């Protein structure tokens, strides 16, 4: 099955074409466009590029959709999904409108090709109410004010690959089947998994970051909440903030709500603290030269990571593996060392030599460490391709009377 993964941003379009054959996935082609003003035009251009390269067969198109409110999971991207994306665009304005437009465009261009949406919130369908509920009035909750969580594709890949690396193929297989089982089976599925006792804390650290607690392949909670603006300090987004700060800033700084939203989503986070950049590489370079604000930005970031790691460590009663993934987590030994500092009392001992080697996929734990420290490279597009194929194959099996 050839699966085209479409990654749409407000001004960008990137694609990857995978050949999926059972558990095997082979990358056939990739490309992308920046400074996009017409997604329909670049989608047409991408299709022409693929055809010119001999890739004329597309069996499915997968989308890494962000937020659809109550619409979540891995499901066919029909008009109901398009409507859900637009209805929640106020919480994900940079992502939802482009994805809705992209799904519509592919429906028009390739009407016979199935389209599949894998929501970033999908991995959190099994989080208990105590971990997704805010302490707000009931009518707020009924209006959708709750923790949804994001980076689900990345954290699910960590749950699956991490289980494989730790010799728990039984859990890896159950993670593969999570979305096929569907939320209606969540109670049975979760209770079946919880007996096996694998506790993983996944740190997705990149342009945006989150920490997720995973018990036996199922997410028990995550640092991100209602929107991608929450949790850890993001590159230029604020992360967690006391709700009283917004009216206070509006009064004291004479800001409009529009100005507050702009500053919190575009001028805050690591950029706001450091005053240097929203890129950790630039901030680290400035900190190494003695820039105090740059160093503070790194310290706040590391403090927040450790805060959430500690929260899930306590919630799960321990940690069998601490995982670093995404660009910052995979490529910065100094950050991993800072996050893991002084955790020997909890059973985590980092091997400095292994950590400094910066190998692609590795276990950084010392021989006497009870907790393993894994680096697992992120590949969210591969996750979307695999889940798209799994969904369509499962549906085909049900139609043919299998399973």
* pLDDT for 35: 86
Instruction: Judge whether 7 is annotated as a binding position.
Output: yes
If one counts every other C-beta atom within 10 angstroms of the C-beta of residue 294, the result is 23
Among candidates 150, 61, 147, which has minimal Cα distance to 99? 61
- Per DSSP bridges, beta strands 115-118 and 60-63 are parallel
Rounded distance between C-alpha atoms, residue 302 and residue 119, angstroms: 28
If one counts every other C-beta atom within 10 angstroms of the C-beta of residue 145, the result is 14
- pTM score over 0.75: yes
Among candidates 282, 268, 276, which has minimal Cα distance to 235? 268
What tokens does 397 get? 């099996």
If one counts every other C-beta atom within 10 angstroms of the C-beta of residue 224, the result is 29
Instruction: Judge whether 115 is annotated as a binding position.
Output: no
Instruction: Judge whether 2 is annotated as a binding position.
Output: no
- Using an 8 Å Cβ cutoff, are 331 and 358 in contact? yes
What fold is seen in the domain 2-119? Nucleotidyltransferase; domain 5 (3.30.420)
Rounded distance between C-alpha atoms, residue 176 and residue 153, angstroms: 12
b (16+ CB within 10 A) / e for 4-31: bbbbbeeeebbbbbbbbeeeebeebbee
Instruction: Judge whether 363 is annotated as a binding position.
Output: no
Instruction: Judge whether 400 is annotated as a binding position.
Output: no
Domains 2-119 and 152-380 share a fold: yes
b (16+ CB within 10 A) / e for 240-269: eeeeeeeeebeeeeeeeeeebeebbbeebb
Rounded distance between C-alpha atoms, residue 189 and residue 13, angstroms: 36
Among candidates 199, 194, 123, 116, which has minimal Cα distance to 155? 123
Per-residue pLDDT of the chain (403 residues; tens, 9 = 90+): 999 999 988 788 899 999 999 878 999 999 988 888 888 889 999 999 999 999 989 999 999 999 999 999 999 999 999 999 999 999 988 889 999 999 999 999 999 999 999 999 999 999 999 999 999 999 999 999 999 999 999 999 999 999 999 999 999 998 988 887 655 444 444 444 444 589 999 999 998 999 999 999 999 999 999 998 899 999 999 999 999 999 999 999 999 999 999 999 999 999 999 999 999 999 999 999 999 999 999 999 999 999 999 999 999 999 999 999 999 999 999 999 999 999 999 999 999 999 999 778 999 999 999 999 999 999 899 999 999 999 999 887 655 555 5
Instruction: Judge whether 328 is annotated as a binding position.
Output: yes
Helix (H, G, I), strand (E, B) or coil at 29: strand
* pLDDT for 398: 57
Domain ranges, ordered by start, for the chain: 2-119, 152-380
Task: Please state, in angstroms and as integers, the Cα–Cα distance from residue 181 to each residue in 175, 197, 265, 392, following that order.
Answer: 10, 21, 36, 13
Instruction: Judge whether 58 is annotated as a binding position.
Output: no
Instruction: Judge whether 368 is annotated as a binding position.
Output: no
Rounded distance between C-alpha atoms, residue 328 and residue 402, angstroms: 43
- Using an 8 Å Cβ cutoff, are 366 and 351 in contact? yes
**CATH architecture classification, 152-380:** 2-Layer Sandwich (3.30)
Instruction: Judge whether 331 is annotated as a binding position.
Output: yes
* pLDDT for 138: 97
* pLDDT for 180: 77
Instruction: Judge whether 281 is annotated as a binding position.
Output: yes
* pLDDT for 88: 94
Rounded distance between C-alpha atoms, residue 146 and residue 127, angstroms: 12
Instruction: Judge whether 329 is annotated as a binding position.
Output: yes
């Amino acid at each position: 099955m050839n699966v085209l993964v479409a990654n749409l941003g407000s001004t960008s379009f990137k694609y990857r074409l995978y050949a999926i054959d059972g558990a095997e996935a082979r990358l056939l082609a990739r490309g992308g466009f920046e400074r996009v003003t017409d997604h329909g035009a670049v989608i047409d251009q991408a299709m022409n590029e693929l055809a010119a390269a001999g890739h004329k067969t597309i069996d499915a198109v997968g989308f890494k959709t962000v937020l659809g409110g109550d619409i979540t999971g891995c499901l066919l991207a029909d008009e109901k999904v398009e409507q859900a994306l637009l209805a929640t665009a106020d919480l994900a304005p940079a992502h939802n409108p482009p994805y809705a437009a992209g799904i519509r465009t592919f429906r028009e261009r390739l009407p016979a090709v199935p389209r599949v949406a894998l929501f970033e919130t999908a991995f959190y369908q099994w989080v208990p109410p105590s971990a997704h509920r805010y302490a707000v009035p009931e009518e707020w909750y009924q209006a959708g004010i709750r923790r949804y969580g994001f980076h689900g594709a990345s954290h699910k890949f960590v749950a699956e690959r991490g289980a494989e690396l730790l010799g728990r193929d039984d859990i890896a297989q159950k993670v593969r089947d999570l979305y096929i089982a569907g939320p209606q089976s969540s109670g049975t599925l979760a209770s079946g998994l919880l007996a096996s006792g694998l506790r993983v804390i996944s740190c997705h650290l990149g342009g945006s970051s989150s920490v997720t607690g995973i018990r036996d392949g199922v997410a028990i909670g995550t640092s991100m909440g209602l929107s991608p603006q929450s949790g850890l300090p993001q590159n230029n987004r604020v992360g967690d903030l006391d709700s009283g700060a917004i009216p206070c800033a509006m009064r004291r700084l004479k800001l409009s709500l529009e100005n507050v939203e702009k500053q919190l989503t575009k001028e805050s986070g690591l950029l706001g603290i450091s005053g240097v950049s929203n890129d950790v590489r630039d901030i680290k370079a400035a900190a190494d030269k003695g820039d105090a604000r740059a160093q503070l930005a790194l310290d706040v970031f590391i403090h927040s990571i450790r805060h959430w790691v500690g929260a899930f460590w306590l919630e799960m009663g321990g940690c069998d593996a601490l995982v670093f993934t995404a660009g910052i987590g995979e490529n910065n030994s100094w950050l991993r060392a800072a996050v893991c500092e002084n955790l020997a009392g909890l059973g985590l001992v980092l091997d400095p030599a292994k950590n400094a080697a910066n190998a692609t996929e590795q276990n950084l734990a010392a021989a006497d460490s009870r907790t393993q420290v894994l680096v697992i490279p992120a590949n969210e597009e591969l996750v979307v391709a695999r889940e798209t194929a799994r969904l369509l194959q499962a549906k085909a099996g049900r139609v043919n009377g299998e399973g």
